């Protein structure tokens, strides 16, 4: 089937904008003051990035440094109201074009390569690309399986460079360097962890566009997360129908979430926040919020992006299916 081959990377529309890039020291203060409104115990510090390749974190390279970039492919209009199956992307090639070759780490949240599973699925992206162009995949898909509708988490092989429909990536050289380390315990407010950070940045920087990405872990507690069912045969036209189609789960720690956040759409029809998580116990999906505020523990490592690159932006758009 010709429709199963990825779109030609060189023929896609690429748009790029520089982002406002405050210092990590300044961001530390802004994020700390935002999080203390939402959590009882908060520590934010500028620190050398731990080795994220260790089993504790599970990333495909050590750090979040080196030309940090936000990369968004496609978007929800390619999924809703009805799927556009031809929207398959070669993530490896697009990252290489975006970064101009060299060593690359790409982590984030999107739709998985449906031809691989013969089903729609979530994608949890965690890829390293060597300077010679060799892909190593620590990525996963999560899908809804069987009559019981259980969540099934499966590794994506090194031979599979694709995603479908939509993807938000934090892309860098995987180099060590300084990052923001954030630790939060006991949620007291109503905002989720990422929304709290994003709102704090938006209030501080207003019309200046700030983007960040990386990873966070939920080390204790549980999270409300969804996994997309297989593609709908009937159009999904609003949030209510969307929530009927998605399968929601309460997923237990430990969860490792990868993704991006940005303060504005920046005239690029950007998704403002998007994190997908994986675990060592067959759980994976799209993060919404924790369900155990009394005991929840978050641990995050984030870096601030220099620019955003937008690839294959939908010509016709809508605003649902983005939270």
Per the CB < 8 A criterion, the answer to whether 221 and 291 are in contact is yes
Sign, Cα dihedral of 234, 236, 13, 65 = negative
Q: What are the φ and ψ backbone dihedral angles of 312, each rounded to 5 degrees?
A: 55, 50
Q: What tokens appear for 19 in the block?
A: 């982002």
pLDDT score for 319: 82
Q: Rounded to an integer, what distance in angstroms lies between the CA atom of residue 130 and that of residue 135? A: 7
pLDDT score for 168: 98
| Length of the chain in terms of residues written | 323
pLDDT score for 245: 98
pLDDT in tens, the chain (323 residues): 334 799 999 999 999 999 999 999 999 999 999 999 999 999 999 999 999 999 999 999 999 999 999 999 999 999 999 999 999 999 999 999 999 989 999 999 999 999 999 999 999 999 999 999 999 999 999 999 999 999 999 999 999 999 999 999 999 999 999 999 999 999 999 999 999 999 999 999 999 999 999 999 999 999 999 999 999 999 999 999 999 999 999 999 999 999 999 999 999 999 999 999 999 999 999 999 999 999 999 999 999 999 999 999 999 988 877 77
pLDDT score for 320: 75
pLDDT score for 1: 36
pLDDT score for 321: 78
Q: Mapped to the 3 state alphabet, what secondary structure does the chain carry?
A: CHHHCCCCHHHCCEEEEECCCCCHHHHHHHHHHHHCCCEEEEEEEEEECCCCCCCCCCCCCCCCECCCEEEEEECHHHCCCCCCCCCEEEHHHHHHHHHCCCCEEEEEEEECCHHHHCCCCEEEEEEEECCCCCEEECCEEEEEECCCCEEEEEECCCCCCEEEEEEEEEEECCECCEEEEEEEEEECCCCCHHHHHHHHHHHHHCCCCCEEEEEEEEEECEEEEEECCCCCCCCCCCHHHHHHHCEEEEEECCEEEEEEEECCCCCCCCCCEEEEEECCCCCEEEEEEECCCCCCEEEEEEEECCEEEEECCCCCCCCCCCC
pLDDT score for 147: 96
Q: How many C-beta atoms surround the C-beta of residue 143 within 10 A?
A: 24
Tell me the angle at which helices 24-35 and 193-205 cross, rounded to the nearest 10 degrees. Answer: 120
């Amino acid at each position: 089937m010709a429709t199963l081959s990825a779109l030609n990377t060189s023929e896609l529309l690429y748009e790029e904008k520089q982002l406002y890039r405050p210092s990590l020291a300044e961001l530390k203060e802004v994020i700390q003051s935002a999080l203390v409104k939402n959590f009882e115990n908060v520590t934010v510090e500028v620190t050398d990035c731990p080795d994220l390749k260790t089993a504790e974190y599970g990333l495909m390279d050590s750090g979040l440094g080196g030309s940090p970039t936000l990369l968004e492919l496609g978007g929800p209009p390619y999924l809703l109201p009805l799927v556009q199956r031809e929207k398959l992307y070669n993530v490896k090639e697009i990252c290489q074009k975006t970064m101009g070759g060299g060593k690359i780490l790409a982590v984030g949240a999107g739709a998985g390569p449906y031809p691989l599973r013969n089903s729609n699925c979530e994608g949890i992206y965690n890829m390293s690309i060597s300077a010679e162009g060799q892909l190593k995949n620590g990525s996963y898909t999560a899908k809804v399986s069987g009559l019981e509708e259980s969540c099934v988490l499966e590794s994506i092989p090194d031979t599979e460079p694709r995603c479908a429909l939509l993807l938000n990536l934090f892309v860098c050289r995987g180099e060590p360097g300084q990052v923001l380390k954030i630790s939060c315990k006991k949620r007291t407010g109503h905002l989720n962890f990422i929304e709290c950070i994003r709102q704090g940045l938006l209030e501080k920087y207003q019309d200046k566009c700030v983007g960040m990405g990386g990873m966070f872990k939920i080390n204790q507690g549980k999270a409300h997360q969804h996994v997309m069912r297989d593609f709908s045969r009937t159009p999904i036209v609003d949030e209510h129908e969307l929530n009927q189609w998605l399968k929601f789960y309460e997923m237990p720690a430990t969860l490792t979430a990868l993704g991006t956040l940005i303060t504005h759409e920046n005239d690029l029809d950007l998704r403002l926040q998007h994190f997908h998580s994986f675990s060592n116990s067959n759980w994976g999906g799209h993060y919404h919020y924790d369900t155990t505020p009394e005991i929840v523990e978050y641990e995050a490592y984030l870096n601030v992006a220099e620019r955003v690159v937008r690839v294959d932006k939908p010509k016709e758009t809508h605003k649902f299916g983005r939270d």
